[in-house]
Amino acid sequence: MISLGQKFPEFKKKATVSVKPGKEFSEITNNDHISKNKWMVMFWYPKDFTFVCPTEIVEFSRNKKEFDSRNAELIGASTDTEFSHLGWMMAHPDLKTLEIPLLADTSKSLAEDLGILEAEEKIAYRATFIVDPKGYVRWINVNDLSVGRNVEEVVRVLDGLQNGGLIPCNWKKGEKTL
């Protein structure tokens, strides 16, 4: 698995960004957030058309403004195709109005470079990466396939990394650091 402090791997992938005809797809690269001097939060989920995944995706989307206010680009990702993402977004009522892109790593090359491919099915674990504006990995969290993550914790860690101080347990933005 990629380690803290390493450069996030280079990538250029298609993403599903909308269910609006003619505006469904876009291309995302590892340099997009760097060129804008932004942080990147990329969260991986195992598969489209599953049960735990939409709960996470919807919660990240609901919190998009929190990430925006912290100068962070938010990207969902899986090894499914952009067409699978689109079909799922169109079929699932909670996903129709997503405000975040879903990256399609159909070659599984990025998931493999990150070291987050589950061995048997070759699907991505529930992994979250916070990458600084220079492209370096600053936080990694990986959950088992069956356990959804806590979006508030991702925001809290992003706040801590951006604070620059020593961050105690359960710290929240605005509280004293060590």
Q: Which residues are catalytic?
A: 53
Could you tell me where the DSSP H helices lie in 40-174? Answer: 52-62, 64-68, 82-91, 109-114, 151-163
Q: Which helix (H) or strand (E) holds 35?
A: helix 32-35
Question: Of 95, 43, 48, 31, which Cα lies nearest the Cα of 67?
Answer: 43
Q: State the Cα–Cα distance between residues 60 and 69, nearest whole angstrom.
A: 14
* Contact criterion met (CB below 8 Å) for 148 and 56: yes
Radius of gyration of the chain (CA): 16
Phi/psi for 102 (5° steps) reads: -115, 110
Q: How many residues does the chain have?
A: 178
Return the half-sphere exposure (C-beta side, CA atoms, 13 A cut-off) of residue 82.
15
